[in-house]
Structure 1
Amino acid sequence: MPHVREHALDGTRGTVAVTEWPHPAPRFLALLVHGYGEHAGRYAGLAALLPGHGAAVYAPDHMGHGRSAGERVVIEDFEDVVTDVHAVAELARAAHPGLPLVLVGHSMGGLIAARFAQRYGHELTALVLSGPVIGAWELPGRLLALDEIPDVPISPGALSRDPAVGAAYAADPLVWHGPMKRPTLEAFVRTLETVAKGGDVGPLPLLWLHGDDDRLVPLPGSRVGVERLSGGRAAERIFPGARHEVFNETNREQVLAEVLAFLDPLLPR
């Protein structure tokens, strides 16, 4: 098991738990931003591989998620989460001054990472978005139109073609298995609009990863947002048959190889 370090930061709304996968002499920093209802520990497989390619890896649990403080899965303002992620970036840079910073956001984490890039893009070397909640995502509006949010948890089978991924997700006590909450849905709607109006990220290199069988965050809706955010300059890798979590898919080695091929020309040797 690779060595990890745990940190606790004072976040905007309570303690934020941060996991670090260290590197003795890194050439870049990787900041992983997880999705809705989950936690940074679900990225241990990806995070443990990145130090082998020269990264020191940091990953927070967002407020209301995992081991961080707050009512479960309640996010009233995603701007606060972006501010917390920026505090994690500062923690990483304090330990390793002057290194390039790569931001990787999945699903809801893609929305957070997109907004981070709009606010702090000058601090980034590259942005990687995986199945990002960005652009046209209809689920929050549909649920908010109901008098009561139905108790319909995420189907584990929608995550990956690998049944072990779904089984681990279903058994994970740090994963939220209940209904979405109205304040969080309202915050999604506001932040989708904020990012849509927030302008593109200019010349910042952006890689978009998506499974073409993603039933949780459909590919066409994300395309609208990615093209707007990147100014049409994004590199894209669409994986046939893959579901929502491309880093946990049956072709995960191919996905990682695509990420490294994208990053290598941007990073010091």
Structure 2
Amino acid sequence: MTDVRAHALDGTRGVIAAREWPHPRPRYLALLVHGYGEHIGRYAALAAVLTGHGAAVYGPDHVGHGRSAGERVVIEDFEDVVTDVHTVAALARAAHPGLPVVLVGHSMGGLVAARYAQRHGAELTALVLSGPVIGAWETPGQLLAHAERHGEVPDIPVSPSALSRDPEVGPSYAADPLVWHGPMKRPTLEAFVRTLKAVDEGGTVAPLPVLWLHGADDRLVPLPGSRTGVRRLAGDGPLTERVYPGARHEVFLETNKAEVYADLIHFLDGVLTP
């Protein structure tokens, strides 16, 4: 299924561009939440796996990202991003009422998805977190400390080589005009710090089933700090952990992506079975 539909929605801070990968007779809905500096179009392969499994798939470009409105990569409040994702969820539910909803968040999208589950968990059937920015993530504090000492945020863009061992992923990312290749912005770093704290203090999402996927060689969001946040978020609810030796940050685009997709589908089969 290669059909993709574009939607323009009223977001909290301007027009939000969203994509839909439709299914003629879906049995569940999948909401995809992308990471920092990128856009939802980079998730076409994951969407194809999910539509092949029976999902209608939806996902927005966040404010300041991709084709959505806003200054590039400026997010002043992640609560607004959660609200925008909820708007996309409402679009999906209106088109397909009564279906189970699965939320999949990667990296910064994992932070958004975690907060979404804390706010709207009763509307979800399962939560999937890939390399999630939750728990002990030191990068925002380090960059803000540098800015305090030197007057500006250092220009340290995301390294394409840190994304995947697949030799095609990095160059594709580097050449993508919808990807931000510059430095992080102070308002976004400050929002990261606030929202990491909000998720830590926001309670568990139990009994919501959680699947956590992470590359053991993830240098952008190191495994140990993320583990702290994931386990706190899951609480005493069902948590499935999959850590992939040698894999880097984007496990859905890794050389072992077939294994990752198989783990995802196995998890979904378990939570979607009546």
Query: Structure 1, residues 148-184: CA drift from partner, whole Å, max 9, x if none?
Result: 1111111100000001000100000000000000000
- 2:225 partner letter: G
Query: Structure 1, residues 113-147: CA drift from partner, whole Å, max 9, x if none?
Result: 00000000000000000000000000000000113
Match of 2:4 in 1: 4
Match of 2:258 in 1: 253
Match of 2:101 in 1: 101
**SS of alignment partner, residue 173 of structure 1:** coil
Q: Are residue 188 (structure 1) and residue 188 (structure 2) matched?
A: no
Give the Cα–Cα distance (whole angstroms) in 1 for the partners of residues 54 and 161 of structure 2.
33
- 1:242 partner letter: A
Any unmatched runs of 5+ in structure 1? none
**SS of alignment partner, residue 59 of structure 1:** strand
Give the Cα–Cα distance (whole angstroms) in 2 for the partners of residues 163 and 154 of structure 1.
16
Give the Cα–Cα distance (whole angstroms) in 1 for the partners of residues 87 and 273 of structure 2.
24
Query: Structure 1, residues 80-118: CA drift from partner, whole Å, max 9, x if none?
Result: 000000000000000000000000000000000000000
Q: TM-score, normalised by structure 2?
A: 0.97
Give the Cα–Cα distance (whole angstroms) in 1 for the partners of residues 92 and 273 of structure 2.
18
Task: Note the 1:33-44 alignment, pairs <5 A.
Answer: 33-44=33-44
Tell me how large the CA RMSD over aligned residues is.
Answer: 0.9
Contact persistence 1:105–1:113 (CA under 8 A)? yes
Match of 1:174 in 2: 178
Provide the identity percentage: 77
Return the offset for 1:72.
Answer: 0.1
Match of 1:56 in 2: 56
Match of 1:241 in 2: 246
Match of 1:66 in 2: 66
Give the Cα–Cα distance (whole angstroms) in 2 for the partners of residues 188 and 108 of structure 1.
9
Match of 1:218 in 2: 222
Contact persistence 1:27–1:267 (CA under 8 A)? no
Return the offset for 1:268.
Answer: 4.7
- 1:152 partner letter: I
Contact persistence 1:27–1:268 (CA under 8 A)? no
**SS of alignment partner, residue 145 of structure 1:** helix
Which of 208, 212, 217 lines up with 1:208 in the alignment?
212
Give the Cα–Cα distance (whole angstroms) in 2 for the partners of residues 268 and 59 of structure 1.
24
Give the Cα–Cα distance (whole angstroms) in 1 for the partners of residues 210 and 166 of structure 2.
27
Return the offset for 1:49.
Answer: 2.0
- 1:80 partner letter: D
Q: TM-score, normalised by structure 1?
A: 0.99
Give the Cα–Cα distance (whole angstroms) in 2 for the partners of residues 212 and 266 of structure 1.
25
**SS of alignment partner, residue 163 of structure 1:** coil
Q: Once superposed, which parts of structure 1, at least 4 consecutive aligned residues long, lie more than 3 Å away?
A: none
Contact persistence 1:131–1:211 (CA under 8 A)? yes
Contact persistence 1:151–1:178 (CA under 8 A)? yes
Give the Cα–Cα distance (whole angstroms) in 1 for the partners of residues 273 and 263 of structure 2.
18
Match of 1:76 in 2: 76
Match of 1:163 in 2: 167
| Residue-pair matches, total | 269
**SS of alignment partner, residue 168 of structure 2:** helix
Give the Cα–Cα distance (whole angstroms) in 2 for the partners of residues 234 and 216 of structure 1.
23
